[in-house]
C-alpha cells in the first residue's frame, strides 16, 4: 500500500520557474509527498542569472530539498570540463528525471515518482515512465491541489505567474 511518504514529486525546470514567478514554490509540499530535485533540473534553473534563479536556489537551500544525483548530470559536467564540443543542453533535466524514476522502480519497496512537467512536447512525446510513476503537468497539479481544497484557485496561481512575466504553457488537458 502506497502512503504519501512513499511518493516523491520530481519537478522539472518549467514548473519550478512558473511557481517561482508566482511566488508559490511551497505549493509543491501541499500534497504531503516528499519533494526532490534531480541535479540536472536544479542546474538548469540556477546556472544562469534569471528573474527566478536566486529565488529557486534560496528555496532549495531553505527547505533542504534533497538533490538526487544522476549519471546524466555527471556526464554533462565531464563534457563541459573536457572543452571539446559544447555539451548538449536540451532535455537533459527530463532525461535525469527519467533516470531517477527508473531507479525508483527497482527499489524495494518501489517508490512512486510524480514527474511534474510543463513542456508541451513531453505531454505528447513517448516519455517512458515506469508503472509506479506518473507524469503530471503544472496546470493539472494546480487543479489537483484546488480540487483537494489545498489551494483556493489554480487559475490565480497561473495569473500571478503570467503577470510576473512567465510565458506559461497554453497546453490544456485534455487536449
CATH number at residue 131: 3.40.50
Domain contains 175: no
Q: Taking the CB of residue 68, how many other CB atoms lie within 10 A of it?
A: 20
The total number of structural domains that make up the chain: 1
Domain contains 32: yes
Tens of pLDDT along 147-156?
Answer: 999 999 999 9
Cell numbers found for residue 153 = 484557485
Tens of pLDDT along 81-112?
Answer: 766 565 667 788 888 998 999 888 888 887 89
**How remote is the C-alpha of 133 from its chain's centroid?**
14
Contact status, residue 33 vs residue 114, Cβ threshold 8 Å: yes
Name the pairing type of β-strands 112-117 and 37-38: unpaired
Residues of the chain with pLDDT > 70: what percent?
82
Domain contains 16: yes
Domain contains 155: yes
Q: How confident is the model at residue 125 (pLDDT cuts 50, 70, 90)?
A: low
Domain contains 169: no
Domain contains 51: yes
Structural domain range at position 72: 4-163
Please tell me the pTM assigned to this model. 0.87
Domain contains 171: no
Domain contains 173: no
Contact status, residue 98 vs residue 129, Cβ threshold 8 Å: yes
- The answer to whether residue 126 scores a pLDDT higher than 70 is no
Using alpha carbons only, what angle is made at residue 67 by residues 62 and 68, rounded to the nearest 5 degrees? 165
What is the average pLDDT score of the chain? 86
Which range scores top for mean pLDDT: 76-80, 132-136, 171-175?
A: 132-136
CA–CA separation, 82 vs 108, rounded Å?
37
Amino acid at each position: 500500500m502506497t502512503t504519501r511518504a512513499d511518493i516523491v514529486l520530481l519537478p522539472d525546470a518549467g514548473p519550478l520557474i512558473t511557481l517561482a514567478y508566482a511566488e508559490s514554490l511551497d505549493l509543491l509540499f501541499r500534497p504531503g509527498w516528499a519533494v526532490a530535485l534531480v541535479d540536472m533540473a536544479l542546474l538548469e534553473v540556477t546556472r544562469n542569472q534569471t528573474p527566478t534563479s536566486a529565488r529557486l536556489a534560496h528555496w532549495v537551500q531553505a527547505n533542504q530539498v534533497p538533490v538526487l544525483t544522476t549519471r546524466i548530470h555527471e556526464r554533462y559536467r565531464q563534457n563541459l570540463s573536457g572543452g571539446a564540443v559544447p555539451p548538449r543542453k536540451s532535455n537533459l533535466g527530463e532525461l535525469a528525471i527519467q533516470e531517477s524514476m527508473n531507479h525508483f522502480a527497482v527499489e524495494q519497496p518501489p517508490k512512486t515518482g510524480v514527474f511534474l512537467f510543463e513542456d508541451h512536447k513531453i505531454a505528447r512525446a513517448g516519455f517512458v515512465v515506469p508503472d509506479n510513476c506518473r507524469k503530471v503537468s503544472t496546470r493539472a497539479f494546480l487543479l489537483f491541489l484546488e480540487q483537494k481544497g489545498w489551494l483556493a484557485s489554480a487559475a490565480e496561481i497561473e495569473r500571478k505567474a503570467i503577470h510576473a512575466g512567465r510565458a506559461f504553457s497554453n497546453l490544456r488537458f485534455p487536449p
